[in-house]
Amino acid sequence: MIAVRLLVPPAALRTALGPDAAGALDEMASTLAASPDRLGRLFPAAARRTSRGPLDGTAHRAEDAVRVELVAAAASAIDGAALLAELREVYRYGDADEKRAVLLALGGIDARSVDASDLLLDALRTNDVRLVAAAMGPHAARLSTHDWRHGVLKCLFTGVPLTEVADLDTRADDELVAMVRRFANERAAAGRPVPADATVLLSTSSSEA
């Protein structure tokens, strides 16, 4: 059994969803607790069976919160290796929304035995900012220093706010700052604006130096 932190507490999510959608979520979650290998079948239709769009009072989307809870239900019944296999399959055949939900679920898994760095790197190769942002959540602690720095730079490049990057304060190092400085210099030389997040990162690091 692997614990998965939810995006939204179960009761609050159900209240927001309303009785019909909450009932559909309960039904899917209990199915997965009994048959976790059904995750790939239930994931694609999860949004249309429940809800889609911003969830009032939270920073999350309804379909993300629902899908992360589905992952948690499946994870309650299997070990890390089996969960990883399921998530890889769901991600591989998922549309962008499903892929994002897998990445968000990974961000809620503290067990170090679950390492889906390969999925994060796949997401970071895309130019879909929703995937890039989700890839730089807490699970990115498993990325190598090299890959993590390039992930941060990709966020700056594609306009993903650095507030989306987990552990930025503790993990930013001199090499990341040097990379961001070169990026900022290149932008300045071209007469193009330097993203505010880059400026903030550079000023913070110089004040600490």
Does position 126 bind another protein by CB under 8 A?
A: yes
Does position 125 bind another protein by CB under 8 A?
A: no
Binding mask 17-36 for another protein (x = CB under 8 A): xx-xx---------------
Which of residues 26, 31, 33, 49 is near another protein by CB under 8 A?
49
Does position 48 bind another protein by CB under 8 A?
A: yes
Separation between Cα atoms, residue 107 and residue 184, nearest integer Å:
29
Which of residues 74, 84, 99, 104 is near another protein by CB under 8 A?
99
Which string of DSSP letters, residue by residue, matches 23-87?
A: HHHHHHHHHHHH-GGGHHHHTTTHHHHS--SB-TTSSSBHHHHHHHHHHHHHHTTS-HHHHHHHH
Does position 96 bind another protein by CB under 8 A?
A: yes
Does position 10 bind another protein by CB under 8 A?
A: no
Which residues, 65 to 94, sit near another protein by CB under 8 A? 93
C-alpha dist (Å) from residue 56 to 12, 18, 62, 161, 164: 11, 13, 9, 21, 19
How many residues touch another protein (CB under 8 A)?
Answer: 32
Kindly report the backbone phi and psi dihedral angles of residue 36, in degrees, each rounded to the nearest multiple of 5, phi listed first: -60, -20
Q: Would you tell me which residues interact with another protein (CB under 8 A)?
A: 15-18, 20-21, 41, 44-45, 47-57, 62-63, 93, 95-99, 126-128, 130
